[in-house]
Amino acid sequence: MALIAALKRRREDGSVSDLPADDAERLNLREQVSRIDRQIEESHKFMAEQQKLLAEQQKLNAEAEKLASEGRTFGRARGLAPWQTATIVLSSMAALVASLLSLARSMGWF
| Domain annotation covers residue 3 | no
Nearest residue to 9 (alpha-carbon basis) of 35, 1, 23: 1
pLDDT for 6: 64
Considering its fold, how many domains does the chain have in total? 1
| Domain annotation covers residue 72 | yes
CA–CA dist 84, 90 (Å, integer): 10
Query: Could you list the residue range(s) of the whole structural domain that residue 96 is in?
Result: 27-107
pLDDT for 28: 80
pLDDT for 12: 57
pLDDT for 27: 66
| Domain annotation covers residue 68 | yes
Write out the chain's pLDDT in tens, 110 residues: 666 666 666 555 555 555 555 555 556 888 888 899 999 999 999 999 999 999 999 999 999 888 888 776 665 656 667 777 888 888 998 898 888 888 888 888 77
Cα torsion through 59, 64, 67, 68, rounded to 10: -140
Write down how long the chain is: 110
What pTM, to 2 d.p., does this model score? 0.41
Helix (H, G, I), strand (E, B) or coil at 21: coil
| Domain annotation covers residue 13 | no
| Domain annotation covers residue 19 | no
| Domain annotation covers residue 80 | yes
